Amino acid sequence: MTKADTVFSGSIPSLYDKYAGPLIFAPYAEDLAERLAALNPTRVLEIAAGTGIVTRALVRSLPASVDIVATDLNQPMLDHAAAQLPSSRVTWQQADAHALPFADGAFDAVICQFGVMFFDKRRAYREVRRVLKPRGHFIFNVWDKLEYNDFTALVTAAAVDIFPDDPPLFFARIPHGYHDKDAIVADVRDAGFANVTLETVTLRSVAPSCRDAAVGLCQGTPLRSEIEARDASKLAEVTDAGAARIAARFGSGPVDGMIQAHVVIAS
């Protein structure tokens, strides 16, 4: 993983929230929030909170008495998140998941949506276990293989066509690069979690148009940084090519594709 893989700055946070959020993140945010609510937590830590898509779902799903601390490594993402959710229930704090600035046993639940793929798993999972109370829960999700996520796979193929000699493979390398179920469970258990369950969840990804989907994935994620590092003038070309591939398969109007992820609950 390169430094560019973790950079969410400039216009990326707003585009991420406007386009990529509803497209692929919001459906799983609701799923995670409902699962966490069923565990009846009283103090929750969210890591890799991004633009607050899960945070907003937590505020809707959890009782008002539950304290939420939402963290992310990227301050621009947190700034955007806080502007979207001015709630006294949420404390926003920049934090590195590998060295959480919290006391041992400070939380009875830790939640993370599509963030652990960016982490050093051994370090981050052990930090999560450290800040959890006895019998606390760690709930997170990760993307399944790229081939089970329609729009992302099509956009990646478009980018490969335009840069065949040096393809920008952000999605294949990072978001969809940690999908082996046995390896995921083993990593979590190695961090000291006794009970680990994993469930594969298939949902639908919808957008008002093929272009909305392409803009979200090409310009609202670190794929943009990979494209611009090769040739910034081709960002629009990759976006157009991605939209064309989506339109060829799903039509140019509202689009509806498959998304698939693994949800893990550990205690």
Domain edges within the chain: 3-266
Q: Name residue 69's beta-bridge partners.
A: 45, 91
DSSP secondary-structure letter at 208? S
Residue 87, pLDDT score: 82
**pLDDT single digits (tens) 49-73:** 999 999 999 999 999 999 999 999 9
For the stretch 191-239, pLDDT in tens is 999 999 999 999 999 999 999 999 999 999 999 999 999 999 999 999 9
* Rounded distance between C-alpha atoms, residue 173 and residue 35, angstroms: 28
Q: 3-266 belongs to which homologous superfamily?
A: Vaccinia Virus protein VP39 (3.40.50.150)
Rounded Cα–Cα distance for residues 3 and 175 (Å): 15
Helix (H, G, I), strand (E, B) or coil at 83: helix
Taking each continuous run of H as one helix and of E as one strand, the counts in the chain are 11, 7
Q: Report the mean per-residue pLDDT for the chain.
A: 94
pTM: predicted TM-score of the whole model, two decimal places:
0.93
Structure tokens at 75: 């301050």
Radius of gyration, alpha carbons of the chain: 18
Element (H, E) at 145: none
